[in-house]
């Protein structure tokens, strides 16, 4: 008997784990040494060898957690533990070796035959209330308590609790996202030749509202020739050199005229799609802000003030009609439109960038509005 100093908790895993973690921590706090499989079985340890060794050689009392799960006849693991505990009980000639504690509404008539005639402590009336009754039972049975520092034992239980708290379940879960699929992509992409000075042509392209890209001396885009020409000066002209399906362009297989390779084609397509979507957001009245990382953020107009900050004056809210007057008397004036302030951490933001997952397929990755 002198080598036996452990209270063994038998229970159904994982159904009764929450109660066992709670009970084990409280009993450790009272100075008892507690053994439970969810805390004491390390990875790679022979499962039943360790349980049987703890029951036969180290256990002074067995607390059997009585629940619907643990009393299920199909739970062979729990049934084996009770069978071994009953054998140890007889060898020790200790009729109180097994202490049943009931934690749910299972009928007492459904208890296993080994504990059917034992008095069970009914924890269904309150865990804290019946803990005192359990400790009193252990004290009367002469179960020893540790008189040394229990911090190491508590730390062992704490670490094991963190490990056993993780439960993985398979199942469906709803996904809330702002990734928006592009329903339809352009069917064709056009290649245009141009007449005029190269440098001037490239400068003019920066102000054309239609997304475009340059490949060698060809202008690439989705707009028609007359739409592009409408934004060019008379000395610069464009003419159609050829067209290809957008899917062929993304695959880098355009040969007449010779188009860009797949990687360059995808990069150009993503940029043009992004510019098209950003122009759509701007047309809907959203305000554009370019973040330092290159992300473009769009947010709603929610006020009509203008903030004027100068080197001579403090920040002030002034009517838009007086802006030019105030700015005239400033050395250096920086103006930010307060449709909500860009410095505000609470602004709703939309950061969108299209990505191509496969030829002919694109998605817009957007940030959801912050509340």
Question: Helix, strand, coil: what percent of the chain each, to 5?
Answer: 35, 25, 40
What mean pLDDT comes out for the span 3-14?
90
What mean pLDDT comes out for the span 4-26?
91
Concatenated DSSP letters of 70-92 = TT-TT-HHHHHHHHHHHHHHHHH
Residue 208 reports pLDDT greater than 50: yes
Pairwise pLDDT comparison (126 vs 353), residue with the higher score: 126
Rounded to an integer, what distance in angstroms lies between the CA atom of residue 321 and that of residue 326? Answer: 10
Rounded to an integer, what distance in angstroms lies between the CA atom of residue 153 and that of residue 28? Answer: 7
Residue 194 neighbours by CB distance under 10 Å: 22
Judge residue 220's burial from the number of C-beta atoms within 10 Å of its C-beta, 0-12 exposed, 13-18 middle, 19 or more buried. buried
pLDDT given for residue 350 in this prediction: 43
Q: How many helices (H) and strands (E) does the chain have?
A: 11, 17
SS3 state of residue 163: helix
Q: Are 355 and 365 in contact (CB under 8 A)?
A: yes
When computed from its CA atoms, the radius of gyration of the chain, rounded to whole angstroms, is: 38
For the chain, give the percent of residues with pLDDT over 90: 41
Q: Which residues on neighbouring strands pair with residue 334, listed in sequence order?
A: 309
Q: Which helix (H) or strand (E) element contains residue 50?
A: helix 47-53
**What backbone torsions phi and psi does residue 242 show, to the nearest 5 degrees?**
175, 170
CA angle 345–346–350, rounded 5-degree value? 95
Concatenated DSSP letters of 285-297 = TPEEEE-TTS-EE
> 340-354 burial, b for 16+ CB within 10 Å, e for fewer?
bebeeeebbbbbbbb
- Residue count (the chain): 371
Nearest to 351 by CA among 301, 296, 300, 276: 296
Q: What are 230-272's pLDDT values in tens digits?
A: 999 999 999 999 999 999 999 999 998 999 999 999 999 999 9
Residue 193 reports pLDDT greater than 60: yes
Q: Are 246 and 257 in contact (CB under 8 A)?
A: no
Written as six digits, the tokens of 204 are 């003019």
Give the contacts of 7 (CB within 8 A, at least 6 positions apart): 27, 32, 33, 34, 35, 59, 60, 61, 62, 63, 138, 143
Pairwise pLDDT comparison (279 vs 360), residue with the higher score: 279
Written as six digits, the tokens of 50 are 């360790």
**What backbone torsions phi and psi does residue 308 show, to the nearest 5 degrees?**
-115, 120
H helical segments located in 206-286: 225-229, 246-250, 262-283
What mean pLDDT comes out for the span 95-111?
91
Residue 11 reports pLDDT greater than 60: yes
Residue 301 reports pLDDT greater than 80: no
């Amino acid at each position: 008997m002198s080598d036996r100093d452990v209270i063994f908790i038998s229970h159904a895993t994982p159904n009764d784990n929450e109660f066992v973690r709670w009970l084990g921590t409280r009993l450790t706090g009272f100075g008892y040494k507690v053994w439970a499989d969810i805390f004491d079985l390390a990875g790679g340890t022979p499962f039943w060898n360790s349980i049987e060794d703890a029951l036969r050689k180290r256990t002074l009392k067995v607390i059997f957690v009585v629940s619907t799960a643990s009393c299920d006849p199909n739970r062979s693991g729990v049934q084996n533990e009770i069978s071994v505990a009953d054998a140890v009980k007889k060898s020790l000639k200790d009729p109180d070796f097994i202490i049943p504690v009931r934690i749910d509404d299972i009928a007492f008539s459904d208890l296993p035959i080994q504990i059917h005639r034992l008095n069970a402590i009914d924890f269904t009336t309150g865990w804290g209330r019946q803990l005192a009754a359990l400790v009193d039972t252990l004290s009367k049975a002469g179960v020893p308590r540790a008189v040394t520092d229990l911090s190491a034992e508590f730390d062992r239980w704490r670490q094991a609790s963190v490990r056993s708290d993780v439960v993985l379940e398979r199942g469906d879960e709803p996904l809330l996202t702002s990734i928006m699929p592009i329903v339809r992509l352009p069917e064709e992409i056009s290649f245009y030749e141009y007449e005029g000075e190269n440098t001037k042509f490239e400068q003019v392209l920066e102000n054309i509202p239609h997304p475009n890209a340059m490949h060698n001396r060809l202008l690439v885009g989705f707009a028609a020739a007359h739409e592009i020409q409408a934004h060019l000066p008379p000395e610069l002209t464009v003419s159609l050199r050829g067209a290809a399906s957008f899917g062929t362009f993304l695959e880098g297989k355009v040969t007449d005229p010779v188009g860009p390779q797949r990687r360059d084609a995808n990069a150009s397509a993503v940029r043009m799609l992004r510019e098209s979507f950003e122009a759509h957001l701007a047309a809907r009245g959203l305000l554009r802000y370019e973040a330092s990382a290159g992300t473009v953020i769009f947010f709603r107009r929610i006020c009509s003030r203008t903030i004027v900050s100068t080197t001579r004056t403090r920040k002030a809210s002034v009517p838009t009609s007086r802006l030019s007057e105030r700015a005239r008397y400033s050395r250096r004036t920086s103006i930010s439109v307060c449709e909500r302030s860009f410095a505000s951490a609470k602004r709703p933001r939309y950061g969108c960038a299209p990505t191509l997952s496969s030829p002919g397929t694109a998605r817009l990755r957007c940030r959801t509005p912050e509340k």
